């Protein structure tokens, strides 16, 4: 019973924290606007960067990333205080935070695509997997200047890297791999329109003249 109660608290905590969409909050606080009415109409850092510039994008990036980290830490703290050790609370809290980012309670259930929040969760659950994915994706992002391409390929790599890292470390890998497949699937689904544009060669590159898109 205590495990069920602790899990429920972690899910609520993660979802409420994940619902703090920094793209929407920053655009409303500093511009008096809703970022979902501009650019790609997505409530994410990339749209903030294209619409308002680097300063605001950094604020959003840090906020969305850190809420993923904090959700996992708080979830683990809740389990620790309640004496629950059956499984890692980070999975429940992290998944709920991602869900909150995608469907934020405070903003009409219309949020972003979950990449930065997901990365915050990945960092906290598996720092080595996070480091490998970032090292692989940064050169791709630098040379292509296509954020969605890095997001999509990073999502595809995440389950593979997670499985390999856990096997090499001789750690149980089934739960982590299943979680990583689920998280990657969500990110890929949220990028389905981007994937279509990538396949057709029409996806936006930073620095590209928007009139030529």
Measuring CA to CA, which residue among 138, 103, 136, 125 is closest to residue 177? 125
Tokens linked to 81: 């205080």
pTM over 0.75: yes
Q: What is the pLDDT of residues 68-99, one digit of tens each?
A: 999 999 999 999 999 999 889 999 999 999 99
pLDDT in tens, 91-125: 999 999 999 999 999 999 999 999 999 999 999 99
pLDDT score at 211: 41
Residue 190: pLDDT above 50?
A: yes
pLDDT of residue 77: 97
CB distance 161 to 119 below 8 Å: no
Q: What angle do CA 191, 197, 199 make, to 5 degrees?
A: 100
Which residue, 106, 201, 81, is CA-closest to 149?
Answer: 201
- Residue linked to tokens 């990333």: 65
Would you tell me how many other CB atoms lie within 10 Å of the CB of residue 71?
Answer: 32
């Amino acid at each position: 019973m205590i495990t069920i109660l602790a899990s429920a608290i972690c899910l609520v905590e993660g979802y409420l924290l994940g619902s703090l969409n920094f793209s929407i909050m920053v655009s409303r606080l500093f511009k008096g606007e809703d970022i979902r009415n501009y650019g790609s109409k997505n409530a994410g850092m990339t749209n903030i960067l294209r619409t308002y510039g680097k300063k605001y994008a950094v604020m959003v990036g840090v906020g969305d990333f850190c809420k993923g980290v904090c959700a996992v830490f708080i979830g683990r703290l809740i389990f620790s205080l309640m004496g629950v050790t059956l499984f890692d609370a980070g999975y429940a809290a992290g998944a709920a935070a991602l869900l909150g980012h995608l469907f934020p309670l405070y903003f009409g259930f219309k949020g972003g695509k979950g990449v930065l929040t997901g990365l915050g969760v990945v960092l906290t659950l598996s720092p080595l997997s996070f480091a490998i994915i970032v090292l692989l994706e940064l050169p791709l992002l630098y040379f292509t200047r296509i954020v969605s391409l890095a997001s999509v390929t990073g999502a595809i790599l995440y389950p593979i890297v997670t499985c390999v890292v856990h096997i090499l470390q001789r750690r149980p890998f089934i739960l982590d791999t299943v979680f990583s497949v689920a998280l990657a699937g969500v990110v890929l689904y949220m990028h389905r329109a981007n994937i279509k544009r990538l396949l057709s060669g029409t996806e936006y590159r930073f620095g590209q003249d928007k009139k030529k898109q």
